[in-house]
Structure 1
Amino acid sequence: MTGLIDTGGQSLHDWLIDEDIKSRRQALAQRWYFGLRHLLSSPIAVLGLVIVVALVLAAAFAPLLATHNPYRQDLGRALLAPSSAHWMGTDELGRDVWSRLVYGSRTTLYITMLVTVLVAPVGFLIGALAGFIGGWLDTVLMRLTDIFLAFPSLVLALAFSAALGPGIENAVLAIALTIWPPVARLARAETLTVRNSDYVASARLQGASTLRILWRHLVPVCLPSIIVRLTLNMASVILTAAGLGFLGLGAQPPLAEWGAMAAAGRQYLIDAWWLTTFPGLAILLVSMAFNLLGDGLRDMLDPRKG
């Protein structure tokens, strides 16, 4: 049979494994292509995508979009109502609210991306190891996950932030410690569905290490679901970060951050409504956008949709 198949000098066994991997990659690429078409055909998902892209662009081009220095104080211009000179008014220190809102998008995006970068590998590794190895390790890791899931994420983030102290880095760490359990649960469930597959068994017989199997065979399987989970988590990350900033446990002054901006305007809520309204709308809009985009990605990556 090997004489009829050009294996390129490989053994038939190795050649069959490589062909199986190639076919799975082609199937995944085709699935992404049709999924992207499905995503772009959904107006709701496109709306979420547009808002998220606008957030990224605002963060990238904040110096160009800001009409004033967001940190320059001018008490003579304090609490000015929205006008052509100050599109969203000024705060109690005379700083332009629009400019601070634009620069605050950088803080929001920084926290969201950093939390995601921390949570994705940690959650996947814990869940995949628990599902792949099983036994006592699965029991220990899943009970640890259950402990974290037993507490509301915001309450847990507040507890960690209070223990670590105020600051944007501590806020990122506190939020990451509350976000990883759902990712670990999801990675474990995905791993349990494929750990006894033929290609995983073949890799084991060839002497592949556990980490190599996780990286080469389980990551492609878990990646679509984890991407959706992380996208949906971003809304929770933004709300939690805003909550910590509102309570003074997140980004510290004079850094522009939406939650802290809303907190600073509480005492002027009646006479200067714009101080809390515009940061609150920004938080609402971006959180909603990530939820809409996450729903669209879930439909896009659903294997039951042909």
Structure 2
Amino acid sequence: MTTQISMAARTSSEPHTRYQALWLSLGTGARRLLHNPLTGAGLLVVLLLLLVALFAPWLATHDPLAQDLNRSLHAPNADNWFGTDEFGRDIFSRLVYGSRITLYIIALVTVIVGPIGLAVGTISGYFGGVVDMLFMRITDIFISFPSLVLALAFVAALGPGLEHAVIAIALTTWPPIARLARAETLQLRNADFIVAVQLQGASSARVILRHIVPMCLSSVIVRLTMNMAGIILTAAGLGFLGLGAQPPLPEWGAMISTGRSYMMECWWLVAAPGLAIMLVSLAFNLLGDGLRDLLDPRSE
């Protein structure tokens, strides 16, 4: 009787459709992800950033671009929670709308970098030989320069602006993704299931797209998540130097740049955006560590 009950309970918990299996896998992954309190804290901050960006018009207490010189350089108070800047603009509202710019940069860079790095790495690792040597030498050229210096060079060539900053950051971020995808592909290209697919007559494009790329996705996703902190810092650095988002856009790095002239007397001008950059960067790093533990079977 006990055996029958246990068998029935096990059968009822097993997924019967593809969607049930997906939801069960997502639930198990979420529980494992939240098991680590640091990862949970990082995920909470990232979700909070998404909500702030989504509901920015309702969360902002003032127009982020409205100037009022009569309220310039006011300390934090009940009306201006994080104080005002030299033009009387509300710092809190500018931080709220600045979250949209940060997520815009992260999303565009990730969309550009992920496919490029994955394509270069898998093609290089699968074919090897001259193709591998050519792709990896190009990758080495990009890696040999510090990312911020290379981004500065690209922005100087393209001109200042938010879109140009995104292109510059993307051009400096794809090489590590390509290196990672190549390393994964080198381990997979001689695997038994890859050889079996090749013997069945599958083309190289089919082998790469249908079998190798899905196996590399988990590692690439983890690396992209951990790269987001570097993307935020690079974007803030470009904004600080006046090469990223242009005034009056409320970009966090640009806010620090404009507030540094008054930082000794008006600390809130640089403290608020600096704290936002630090918290969001730390959150993506913590989330990346959790995803690595979840998606990398070798970490168990």
Fold shared by both chains (TM-score > 0.5):
yes
2: distance between equivalents of 1:105 and 1:265? 18
Task: Indicate which of 87, 93, 97 corresponds to 2:87.
Answer: 93
Q: Quote the residue 1:120 is aligned against.
A: 114
* Alpha-carbon distance, 1:31 to partner: 7.1
Kindly provide the CA deviation profile for residues 15-53 of structure 1, in whole angstroms up to 9, marking residues without a partner as x.
Answer: xxxxxxxxxxx9999876644332110000000000001
Partner of 1:267: 261
Q: Which residue of 1 aligns with 2:278?
A: 284
Q: Which residue of 2 aligns with 1:203?
A: 197
Q: For the residues of structure 2 that align with 1:191 and 1:136, how far apart are their CA atoms?
A: 16
Whole-angstrom distance in 2 between the partners of 1:180 and 1:288: 21
CA-CA distance at 1:214 after TM superposition: 1.6
By how many angstroms is 1:270 displaced? 1.4
Q: Does 1:250 align with 2:251?
A: no
Query: Tell me, what secondary structure is at the counterpart of 2:109?
Result: helix
- Supply the distance in 2 between the matched residues of 1:250 and 1:148 (Cα, whole angstroms): 21
Asked if 1:168 corresponds to 2:147, the answer is: no
CA distance in 2, matches of 1:96, 1:137: 54
Partner of 1:74: 68
Q: Which residue of 2 aligns with 1:300?
A: 294
Cα shift at 1:208 = 2.4
Taking the aligned partners of 1:198 and 1:155, their CA distance within structure 2 comes to 43
Deviations 1:185-219 (A, max 9, x none): 00001111111122222322333232222221012
Superimposed CA distance per residue, residues 163-190 of structure 1 (whole angstroms, 9 cap, x where no aligned partner): 1110000000000011000000000011
Percentage of identical aligned residues: 64
Structure 1 distance, partners of 2:102, 2:92, is 15
Match of residue 188, structure 2, among 194, 203, 206:
194
Query: Could you tell me which amino acid in structure 2 is paired with residue 250 of structure 1?
Result: G
Following the alignment from structure 1 to structure 2, what is the Cα–Cα distance between the partners of residues 199 and 37? 31
Q: Which residue of the partner structure matches residue 177 of structure 1?
A: 171
Q: Give the aligned partner of residue 212 of structure 2.
A: 218
* Structure 1: tracts of 5 or more residues without a match: 1-25
> Structure 1 residues 301 and 31 mapped into 2: Cα distance closer, same or farther (>3 Å)?
farther
Distance in 2 (alpha carbons) for counterparts of 1:179 and 1:232: 12
Letter in 2 for 1:143: R
CA separation of 1:182/1:31 partners in 2, compared to 1, >3 Å: closer, same or farther? farther
Tell me the distance in 2 between the aligned counterparts of 1:205 and 1:247. Answer: 56
Partner of 2:16: none
The CA deviation string for residues 242-285 of structure 1, in whole angstroms up to 9 with x for no partner, is 00000000001111100000000011111211111100000000
Change (3 A) 1:27 1:151: farther
1:45 aligned partner, one-letter code: T
One-letter code aligned to 2:128: G
Letter in 2 for 1:77: R
1:158 to 152, 168, 174: 152
Q: Would you say 1:44 and 2:65 are equivalent positions?
A: no
Q: For residue 79 of structure 2, give the secondary structure of its aligned residue in structure 1.
A: coil
Q: Deviations over 1:91-127 (max 9, x none)?
A: 1111100000000000000001100000000000000
State the TM-score, normalized to the length of structure 2: 0.90
**Superposition RMSD in Å:** 1.8
Residue type of the alignment partner of 1:104? G
The whole-number CA distance in structure 1 between the counterparts of 2:114 and 2:242 is: 27
Is there any run of 5+ residues in structure 2 with no aligned partner, and where? 1-19
Residue 297 of structure 2: SS of its match in structure 1? coil
> How far, CA to CA, are the matches of 1:30 and 1:198 in structure 2?
29
TM-score (norm 1): 0.88
